[in-house]
Structure 1
Amino acid sequence: MPHPYDTYDTPEVLDRREGPHGEVVLRRHGELLQIIANGCFLMDTSDGRSERLLVDAAYDALDGRSDPSVLIGGLGVGFSLAHAAADTRWGQITVVEREHAVIDWHLDGPLSARTAQAFADPRTRIVEADLVTYINETSDTYDALCLDIDNGPGWTVTDDNDSLYSAAGLAGCARVLRRGGVLAVWSAQPSPEFEGSLWNAGFRRVRTEEVQVARGVPDVVHLAVRPG
C-alpha cells in the first residue's frame, strides 16, 4: 500500500499565521493535514498510535484511580484529546494550547471534523496559554500530565520550551500532579538523559514505551510517577 505522501509532491498551505511564538502553518499533503511551527514539522494526521499510547499509558499507570483528571499539553491535530474524550473512565480533560490558530483550526477549520465531539464533551476544557507558564502559575492539580508540545526533550519547537525538561520544569510538573500522579511525555526518539532527569527530579517508576513507526526510529512515551 503506498504511503499517503507518495503520490503528492507539493503540500497545499491552508492557513499561515504569525503568532506570539513565531509562524504556524496548516498544510494539506495528499490525504494528510500537517502542522508546521517556525519551519519545523510538528505532526500530521497519518497515524496517532503514539499519541493514543500517551493517554492510555498514563491511565494504566494510575492503577485504577476513579475519574482521574488529565492535563494534555498541546492540542496538535487532536489525537490525544479525541482519544481521552472517547474513554469514559477519564474525569476532567484540560488541554493547554498556546497557539490561537491551532484552536481555531479545531473549532471551525479543517481539523474540526476530528475533534468536534471531544470539544463538545462537558469534561473538556480548552486553555489558551503557554504550557510552561501555565504549569508554573496554575493552582489546579491533576492526576495525569500528558505532554506533547515538542518533538522531544532534546528537540524543542522553541528555545523557551527547554525549561520544561529542566530540573525546575520537572519540579513544576510534580507540583501540579497529585500524589501518585503520572507524568507522560511524548518524544520522537528515546532519551536516556531525560530518564535520568526524571529520576533526579524525584519521580519513580520511570520507564519508556516505544511505538514502532513505518520509517525511522520508534516514537516513545516517557512515563514517571510522583511518589505517593
Structure 2
Amino acid sequence: MLPWELLATASAPQGDTLRLLRRGTEYSIRLEGGNELMNSRLGGSEESLATLTLDRIGARPAPRLLIGGLGMGFTLRAALAATPAAAQVVVSEIVPDLIGWARGPMAEVFGGCLEDPRVLLRAGDVAAEIRTAAPPYDAILLDVDNGPDGLTRAGNDGLYGEAGLRAAHCALSPGGVLAVWSAAPDPAFTRRLGRCGFQAETHSVPAGRGKRGPRHIIWTARR
C-alpha cells in the first residue's frame, strides 16, 4: 500500500493544525494527531446534504443557497448539479488555506467547480454570513466541524445553539430549509431545532456512495 504524503498544513481559528495528505488519488484532511475530518473517498453524505435539501425546497427559478464549509467540494458540486443557471451558491469557509488547497493540490478533486459563475466563495465565518443575510437564503447548508457536537471549534455553539438557530431561521425565505451534517446522532439537537421554530427531519445516510459502511446524520429543518 502506498504511504501517505503530507502536502500542506494550515492553522484553524482555534489554533488546531490541519494536515492535507495524499495517497495515490486519495486525499485526506486531518487534525494534528490523526483524527480525520474528511476524505475524498467518503463524500456520499456530503452530497446527500445538498440533494436532500434541494428536494425539500422544491423547484425555484433562482434559488439562493449558503453552504457553510467548503470541505472537499462534495456538497457544492451536488448543489450545482441540481440547481438552475440562475441560482446563486455562496460558500463560506473560515480557513483561507482550504480555499488555496482547493485551487492548488486538490484541484483535481474540485474539478473546476469553483469557477462556475453561480458560485461566490467567501473566506470567513458562516455565522456572520447568516446574521447579515440580505436578501434571505432559500437554503442554508452547514457542514462545519463534525456537526452540533463539534470537535475543533468551541465557537460552533454560535451556529448550533439556540441563538444561532434562531438567526438561521430569520435568514431563510418562507419555506426555506436549514440542513445540518453530523458525524453522529444528536436527539437534543433535534429538539432544539423544534424549539427554534423549525419542522425538522433526521436522515441517516451512507458516508460513502455504497449502502454499506459507516453512516452519517443529516437534519433538514424547514422554516
Asked if these proteins are the same fold (TM beyond 0.5), I'd say: yes
Paired residue for 2:8, among 5, 12, 15? Answer: 15
Q: Residue deviations 1:3-37, cap 9 Å, x none?
A: xxxx35x5321001235432222111454211124
The structure-2 alpha-carbon separation of the partners of 1:140 and 1:26, relative to structure 1 and needing over 3 Å to count, comes to farther
Asked whether 1:133 is paired with 2:128, we answer yes
After superposition, the CA RMSD in angstroms is 1.9
Structure 1 stretch displaced more, 140-149 or 81-90: 81-90
Asked whether 1:162 is paired with 2:174, we answer no
The structure-2 alpha-carbon separation of the partners of 1:156 and 1:177, relative to structure 1 and needing over 3 Å to count, comes to farther
Paired residue for 1:71, among 66, 69, 75? Answer: 66
SS at match of 1:13: strand
Asked whether 1:93 is paired with 2:86, we answer no
The structure-2 alpha-carbon separation of the partners of 1:21 and 1:94, relative to structure 1 and needing over 3 Å to count, comes to same
Q: Which residue of 2 aligns with 1:47?
A: 42
Q: Residue deviations 1:179-213, cap 9 Å, x none?
A: 11001100111211111010000112x11111134
The 5 A counterparts of 1:113-152 are 113-152=108-147
TM-aligned CA deviation for residue 163 of structure 1: 2.1
Higher RCO (Cα < 8 Å, 6 or more apart): 2
Which runs of 5 or more residues in structure 2 are unaligned? Answer: none
Contact 2:148 2:182 in 1 (8 A): yes
Q: Percent identity?
A: 36
Alpha-carbon separation, structure 2, partners of 1:64 and 1:116: 26
SS at match of 1:67: coil
Q: Which residue of 2 aligns with 1:4?
A: none
Runs of 4+ in 1 over 3 A off after TM superposition: 37-40, 137-140, 213-216
SS at match of 2:19: strand
Alpha-carbon separation, structure 2, partners of 1:100 and 1:117: 18
Q: Which residue of 1 aligns with 2:174?
A: 179
Paired residue for 2:190, among 191, 195, 201? Answer: 195
Amino acid at match of 1:62: I
Equivalenced residue count is 216
Give the alignment's TM-score, normalised by structure 1: 0.87
